[in-house]
Amino acid sequence: MTALPTVRTKADLRARVAAWRAAGERVALVPTMGALHEGHLSLVGIGRANAEHVVASLFVNPTQFSPAEDFDAYPRDEARDAELLAAAGCDLLYAPGAEEMYPPGFATSVAVAHVSEGMEGAARPHHFGGVATVVTKLLTQAAPDVAVFGEKDYQQLQVIRRLTRDLDLPVEIIGGPTMRADDGLALSSRNAYLSAQQRAIAPALNRALKACAQAVAKGAAVDASEAAAIEAILAAGFDSVDYLEVRSAEYLERLGPGPIDAPARVLTAARLGRTRLLDNEPI
């Protein structure tokens, strides 16, 4: 086991990154909230493939949780996460405290219109504002050449692409493909909450998305394909579907109701007992 070098202030982070930069070496940032699984570690691998050094950040950002959400209960095990990151080829962990990120007097927020509206933005009203602000800060603090985010949270990825372009942050955003179990279930720390019975039902979510994407790609109407997918998810045993929508791939605009002929994505969130699962597929 290798101890992963860890810094807790932006000053120390910048000193490390500046030294690498001065040597002509590229730096990748992989922002995380901990509770790491194979999905996160695959992002570290993508970072390694695109830069000489990979920095992972670990910060459970309070401003992207609503008061009703599980900020206090969010799993925290830095030692375990650091071990996994080191094994995956990460060079440096940046684990700032809340007072480093939001010192007294903090008053600034970054908001992204349109792409952050609807879907997760509707379900969690303050979520993307918190995400946009903290990601802007992580990108200006670390000043990486590339930053890697998972396609699992596809709407979040598009919000981050948008703010990076709009605020002229000199970083390339790379989306990492969703890691899946053999039966297609997207890896998520929330999968641990599923009972054996729920775990058996869960892969129906991705099956329905794939069928929907395939149908729309072949020329089926968007509205009928969305409805069929929702029906299949509920028939498989999910308790409810928060949303299941075909949207344009970049700006996430609503498409349909008829057939479409442009890059698109189908995105969903559905509930299985108390667990809320997200997934999406390209069209």
214 near its own copies (CB under 8 A): no
141 near its own copies (CB under 8 A): yes
Nearest residue to 95 (alpha-carbon basis) of 133, 66, 61, 145: 61
Shorter beta-carbon distance to its own copies: residue 18 or 235: 18
Distance CA 272, CA 199 (A): 9
Structural contact between residues 138 and 31, judged by C-beta atoms closer than 8 angstroms: yes
Shorter beta-carbon distance to its own copies: residue 115 or 270: 115
123 near its own copies (CB under 8 A): no
Question: Which of 124, 137, 152, 265 contacts its own copies by CB under 8 A?
Answer: 137
Shorter beta-carbon distance to its own copies: residue 101 or 201: 101
**Please, which of residues 169-198 interact with its own copies by CB under 8 A?**
169-170
Question: Which of 80, 114, 271, 274 contacts its own copies by CB under 8 A?
Answer: 114
Please say if 40 is a catalytic residue. Answer: yes
Rg (CA), the chain: 19
Three-state DSSP at 164 gives helix
Contacts of 111 (CB under 8 A, 6+ apart): 128, 129, 132
Distance CA 14, CA 91 (A): 14
The residues annotated with a catalytic role in the active site are: 40
User: Can you give the binding site for its own copies, defined by CB under 8 A?
Assistant: 10, 14, 105-115, 132, 136-137, 140-141, 143, 162-163, 166-170, 251
